[in-house]
Structure 1
């Protein structure tokens, strides 16, 4: 009996090695992504324990004394806790509600164009801003919105208005952030939906045209349901990244006059961790932020699977 079991195990191992040899190209292809995630994503998780310690560079991670949840408690009891959380959530929700649906609308409209040259021109035009770095983008905003020489303020003065300090006033921070995000990222996001629209069976549209369906009816009953799984997956990813609103642009747009609305978790972590060298405190804030994102991801994924049957896992 034992011989038969050992023989069966040997055959399974041989067949497994045979499959690996036959498909070694695929294993080599996946080797580099796996190595990337292990080295840059999983191995750094070793340093998460800093959030529960009073970290000292001279003592190292293991040598630093444990403090438990003291760093988390310090953050929760800080005077600007609710302001930072509110700014982060509000800016993220605005970005999700306003910026997320626009690429879908753009992709659906582009898909209805029958003039290929015009379609390619529009795609190239809206896709090009994606390649502009965030630093250059914010620099362009400072130039165009300058109260003394900016093009926008020059136009405002031509119509009898007064110059506006767009990059300094608090009420303009969020609109400018969202509008610049839409301008820069809509083209790239719409490419994903255009690829999903290209996978829809053209015979469905032909049959709908024969039945007398209008363009709006075909969009509503064929295009939107056809890309619904893609929309759900990207929405789940967007919600799972809700608290990680772009640090670089927020930090570059931030100033003394608008810090009351522009101070978000990523910028606060940078100031505490890099500028003030409070590594344990900043690690605790970052871990808190990551846990919130994970909880949101799991909740939204579960809700999406129940409602639409589509999800990440």
Structure 2
């Protein structure tokens, strides 16, 4: 029985591998809108899709980002300014895209733009700290998607949302995991709603990769800034050496953890855009596949133990 099940599993993966090989035709007439192209995954994805022959509409937050992309890509690529926190900016971009794609519609939108700070203990933060991140990582994703969804329905295209493995399990405090859990919920509901229109909705959940989101120096500067603003009473609860201990743990545990090969993620993004049969979910990174995803399915008592056993404890922690 065991060998029979193993055989079925092997056949399934061979079938899926073969099915996923076919790519969409006529790429030169397919427009792809990518947000957050100044650096990181978005920048690499815009260049990759351009090299594959797609007509890329790359949105950047800075003029420098736009200029760099124009210099390094073909004349098929178009850049535009976008602030995903601003409805006027989102609507202006959508109007430009509508005029550009015409009756063809929009083949895909890749909601790549995102931020990772502020981060820290939940009781160090204010509601404004949560709102500032949710404006980018959640509200921005929803607003951009809705602004071009009629164009995607016209093309029977796809929506690709960048979540995180931390949309499946929350090993840290603050709004980052909250925003990514919410992106997962939006993606799941949109996928079901759009199925009747032939629109595919895909979620990408990377593990730890070496970007600004996982830069320990940036994260620790943010922790220090939050600490400096805390009332003395709260500092006493955690202890004067709490930040230095967290710093040490970050260096020891996470300093070498991020994967520097960003193309593992970009390849999943590219496949979600170009494959005839994309997956509903991608989880690039061995840490995602072998640790975080399995951990997310474990009982909470198990995952809590594994996540807390090496955590820095506050000075006034209850034993």
Same-fold call, TM > 0.5?
no
Structure with greater proportional strand content: 2
The structure whose Rg is larger is: 1
When the two structures are superposed, what TM-score results if normalisation uses the length of structure 2? 0.25
Structure with greater proportional helix content: 1
